Amino acid sequence: MKFRNFAPLLVACIATFLLLAYATVVTVAIPAIATDLHTDFAALQWVVDLYTLALAALLIACGAVGDAVGRRKVFLAGFTLFTLSSLACGLAPGVRELIAFRGAQGIGGAAMFATTLPLIRASYSGREQHRAFAAWGAVAGLAAAVGNVCGGLLAEALGWRWIFLLAVPAGAAGLVLAVVFLPRDPERGVRRMDVAGSFLLSVGIAALVVASLLFGEHGAGAEPAAAAVVAVAGILACVVRERRTPDPVIDPALFRHPRFLAVVAVAFGYYFAAFGPLTVMSSWFQDGAGLDAVDTSLLLALQPAVFFVVSAACGAVLQRVPLWVPLGVGTALCAAGCAGLALLGAVYEPSALVPSLVLTGIGAGMVSPVLPSAAMRDADPAQAGAAAAVANTARQVGLALGTAVCGGLFISLSAPTRREYTAAIGEVGAVGALVALAAAAPAIVLLRRAEGRTRTRGSRPSAAESGTPGTGSADTGASRRDAGR
């Protein structure tokens, strides 16, 4: 493959690696930041949380903006903001400035994340598109490993500011490649933006993430309950608005597609089960099993390492099989990994949880490369960015809720005994398994039923049904419109 053909994928992978790695890379470095900036841990928690909040709340809105004004434009703007914000974070004189710049970094990350997948889809077709999505999925898993392992090591070796400063040359190189090699936005008619709907949806999702964060930090109480009420009100108001406006953020008809609903459920379920319990497992490894931070990080990195191998080795193949296999079976393997966490938590040895890490790594590695194209398959090409953003938002909300719910089970354990730790680990595994199974079972049924309907019509399964991206009904419609031009 010539570099010109490879460059758009390289840009997408650089952007994805940076924005996902920086969701977790700061966590282990919080003590070093607290010492240097002379602040407490409560304030610094927002250095971690505000990035997550902005990323989850603005994904769909940024996807809709990209669909309306051009995905390349939104991607470049987001990448520029992310890179400049990384520089500002590294030079921040105090904690307030650092928190503000992390919020800006999250906004840039949301713009990048919302437009990366549609840009990959526009840059490749056929087998090249299969391989591109597989590579993207593998890089997404690798970013999680680097974020968890390298944050503390960088802070100790170079100082916490270099965690952010090292993103600047990588971001600058990615920006240059993006300007030169990303495909131009196609000419399109002026499309109005539903600003009110975008605002209501962003408020609802932000409030949901805040409720999750508050619950994870403090347990049940008035503050997380109030945030949850705001979340429900915002999302319901957005639904009412979207049904009435001629220019919705997301076409409500998309949610009448059982396959799209299955994809969104899987996105939430597999992220909840695979990554939600990791904070609790980290606590168990260090406080219960007596491992240090480096050994804990390396042990937890087993999961994303397996994720990376599965995505890289099997991602292209998985996109050519029926969707229920990677999405349904992959999520079911995440459930099995959590069930193993519940069963093996009683064995008070770190190695006892290795099978759970391996199983969730395999399951997530099966789902991740296929999910992006599956999310865009039933959407009109003009709204592909928003459709992909819905799935990515479901993943981020699944992670936030998973971390909060699993962490909430540990809040009452001030000085846990071996029995209390074991019981909490079992509860975490059981919750994760139930959530993943609740997503996997209907996904398998709905996706197999969709495939069966195609076969009963007397034709071979279409690419949209069998898992081949970019050649489904939505893309066919796009080709006809392009031919009409």
Asked which of 278-282, 346-350, 463-467 is least confident by mean pLDDT, the reply is 463-467
Quick one: pLDDT band at residue 415, thresholds 50, 70, 90? low
292 shares a domain with 200: no
112 shares a domain with 89: yes
Helices and strands, number each (H, E), in the chain: 21, 0
What global pTM score does this model have? 0.78
pLDDT digits (tens, 9 = 90+) for 237-260: 988 888 888 778 777 778 888 888
Write down the pLDDT at residue 353: 82
Asked which of 145-154, 203-212, 316-325 is least confident by mean pLDDT, the reply is 145-154
330 shares a domain with 240: no
Query: Is residue 484 a part of any domain in this protein?
Result: no
pLDDT digits (tens, 9 = 90+) for 86-139: 999 999 998 889 999 999 999 999 999 989 988 988 888 878 887 888 888 888
DSSP 274-340: HHTTHHHHHHIIIIIT---HHHHHHHHTHHHHHHHHHHHHHHHHHTTS-TIIIIIIHHHHHHHHHHH
237 shares a domain with 284: no
Q: What percent of the chain has pLDDT over 90?
A: 23
Write down the pLDDT at residue 485: 35
Quick one: pLDDT band at residue 67, thresholds 50, 70, 90? confident
Quick one: pLDDT band at residue 376, thresholds 50, 70, 90? confident
Phi-psi region of 467 (alpha: psi -120 to 50; beta: other; left: phi over 0): left
Query: Is residue 476 a part of any domain in this protein?
Result: no
DSSP 108-143: HHHHHHHHHHHHHHHH--HHHHHHHHHHHHHHHHHH
211 shares a domain with 177: no
Write down the pLDDT at residue 457: 56
Q: Of the residues 152, 183, 214, which one is the last residue of a structural domain?
A: 183
177 shares a domain with 211: no
Of 139 and 188, more confident? 139
Nearest residue to 417 (alpha-carbon basis) of 343, 348, 328, 322: 348
Give Cα separations from 2 to 5, 6, 9, 121, 139 (angstroms). Answer: 5, 6, 12, 18, 20
Contact 278, 302 (CB under 8 A): no
293 shares a domain with 333: yes
Query: Is residue 483 a part of any domain in this protein?
Result: no
462 shares a domain with 393: yes
Q: How far apart are CA 58 and CA 61, in angstroms?
A: 5
Q: How far apart are CA 361 and CA 349, in angstroms?
A: 20
Q: Of the residues 133, 157, 183, which one is the last residue of a structural domain?
A: 183
Section 440-458 average pLDDT: 75
Query: Is residue 478 a part of any domain in this protein?
Result: no
Contact 39, 202 (CB under 8 A): no
Distance of CA 237 to the CA centre of its chain: 25
Q: What percent of the chain has pLDDT over 70?
A: 85
Section 319-343 average pLDDT: 88
Write down the pLDDT at residue 362: 93
Query: Is residue 117 a part of any domain in this protein?
Result: yes
Query: Is residue 477 a part of any domain in this protein?
Result: no
Write down the pLDDT at residue 454: 57
459 shares a domain with 416: yes
Provide the CB-side half-sphere exposure for 290 (13 A, CA): 3
Write down the pLDDT at residue 71: 87
294 shares a domain with 403: yes
Query: Is residue 480 a part of any domain in this protein?
Result: no
298 shares a domain with 268: yes
Range of the domain at 210: 195-248
Query: Is residue 325 a part of any domain in this protein?
Result: yes
Q: Of the residues 230, 248, 266, which one is the last residue of a structural domain?
A: 248
Q: Is the per-residue pLDDT at 23 higher than 70? A: yes
Section 454-481 average pLDDT: 42
Q: Is the per-residue pLDDT at 157 higher than 60? A: yes
Contact 235, 204 (CB under 8 A): yes
364 shares a domain with 335: yes
Number of domains within the chain: 3
Asked which of 162-166, 340-344, 362-366 is least confident by mean pLDDT, the reply is 340-344
Quick one: pLDDT band at residue 460, thresholds 50, 70, 90? very low
Quick one: pLDDT band at residue 483, thresholds 50, 70, 90? very low
Asked which of 79-83, 89-93, 298-302, 336-340 is least confident by mean pLDDT, the reply is 298-302
Write down the pLDDT at residue 9: 92
Quick one: pLDDT band at residue 358, thresholds 50, 70, 90? very high
Q: What is the CATH number of the domain that holds 90?
A: 1.20.1250.20
Section 189-202 average pLDDT: 76
